[in-house]
Structure 1
Amino acid sequence: MPQNIYLEDYTLVQPHSNFVIAGGRVFIKKWTSLSFNCTIVTGNHKPTVGLNQRIIERLHINDIEKDVVIGEDCWVGANVTILSGTMLGRGSVVGACSLLNKSSPPYAVLVGTPAKIVGVKFSLEQILKHESNLYPEHERMSRDELEVLFEKYYKGLKSMGTDYLSPEEKMKSMQYANMQYKI
């Protein structure tokens, strides 16, 4: 595994993804998937009087390096760019071709350049059910925490997820239960 990239269990990074790292770190937490051609950049160059950009970039003079953290159970769509200092909240979804340049709350649905919150992954009740299936009790978000999130970020926004599984999908998913339910 390349230096400064930390992948937790059951993460998936699709081909042609790029990690541009000089001194920062990238943390991708469990059950998270990055689609094709994602780019994660942990640094930024600070213009410096008397030095041209090529020298600053090549020698990493006055670089500003910050970690990137992608929370648990996130889906990052194709061609997404994630910049230095970004923390993507647990359970979030990022639409294809988006640019993340700031942190986001858990279960956000984000799209655009720069990415903005346009929805929530699940309803509050669905998140409670989802959390009880995925996390031990001491790791779950509480109803109170979720109510604060919904009031602050998701008021009036639609949820995109479902809790419906066809019998075939249910049977298929149970084959991989060790990847999801309370390991």
Structure 2
Amino acid sequence: MPVTLEVEYPADNWLTLSPKFLNDSDAVVTIRGRGNRLYVEDPLVPNAANFLLSGGATLILRADSNINELSVSAVADGALIDIGAWCSFNGCSQITVHERATITIGAFSLFGNGCRIAASDVHKIVDLATRERINPAGDITIGERVWAAENVTILRNSKIGQGSIVGSGSLVRDFFPPYVSLAGVPARIVRTGVTWEF
């Protein structure tokens, strides 16, 4: 079944969608406003993804990824999501950027069902005394060949080094080096010098 594509202003947005994605996917793509960019290379298999872009956001999905029911929402000027080649999102996962921030996912990374990656908290938290915001949006970098098990949450200002493993149900909001195993809420290193294989 072909992609359902709704573009509010076709002349004012930039879409490069592979024929395989357009013809073989059951995806829903919604583009609102102007200045959005969507670039999708050939997916590995058919999918039922849901992409929403608005406000001048960019989504890049590189070749041979398995996106299943991935839901992506990028709804701000300067919001950027860049998903590397051969990534796999099993079941239904969610990626959101509601403010200016970047989420980068390295090639060959694997995400279990129910994972959530969010570069902002959506609502502002403000210090009553200073009136300063204390929860600004922040970038997320996920290295190549990272495996996040089911129901992992990865929040703003996080970095996971390549080859690392994140245990089921973990909450990541920190910087972690390559080749470690993480687990817990909040996530912490439980083992170093490890990686994983398919």
| Structure 2 CA distance for partners of 1:161 and 1:13, relative to 1, 3 Å | closer
Q: Does 1:120 align with 2:197?
A: no
* Match 1:37 to one of 111, 114, 138: 114
Answering whether residue 100 of structure 2 is matched by residue 28 of structure 1, we say no
Output aligned runs, 1:24-173, within 5 Å.
24-44=101-121, 45-48=123-126, 64-122=136-194
| Structure 1 pair 72–47 and aligned structure 2 pair: CA distance change class (3 A) | same
Name the SS for the 2:136 alignment partner: strand
The equivalent residue for 2:84 is 8
Higher alpha-carbon Rg: 1
Hey, which bits of structure 1, 4+ residues long, moved more than 3 A? none
Match of 1:57 in 2: none
Work out the CA distance in 2 between the residues paired with 1:95 and 1:119: 11
Distance 1:47 1:96 in 2: 28
- The 2-side partners of 1:48 and 1:27 are apart by 28
Paired residue type of 1:75? W
SS in 1 for 2:191: strand
% of aligned pairs identical?
28
Could you say if the C-alpha distance between residues 115 and 49 of structure 1 is closer, same or farther in structure 2, counting changes exceeding 3 Å? closer
Count matched residues. 116
| TM-score between the two structures when normalised by the length of structure 1 | 0.56
**Greater RCO (Cα-Cα under 8 Å, separation 6 or more):** 1
AA of the residue aligned to 2:125: P
C-alpha contact (below 8 Å) 1:43/1:84 kept by paired residues: yes
For residues 109-135 of structure 1, give each alpha carbon's deviation from its aligned partner in whole angstroms, at most 9, with x where no partner exists. Answer: 00000011011253xxxxxxxxxxxxx
* Residues 39 and 79, structure 1, Cα contact 8 Å, conserved in 2: yes
Cα distance in 2 for partners of 1:101, 1:121 equals 21
SS at match of 1:10: coil
Which structure features the higher share of strand residues?
2
SS of aligned partner of 2:189: strand
User: Which ranges of structure 2 fall in alignment gaps of 5 or more residues?
Assistant: 1-39, 41-50, 52-58, 60-79
Does the C-alpha gap of structure 1 residues 121 and 113 become closer, same or farther in structure 2, counting only changes over 3 Å? same
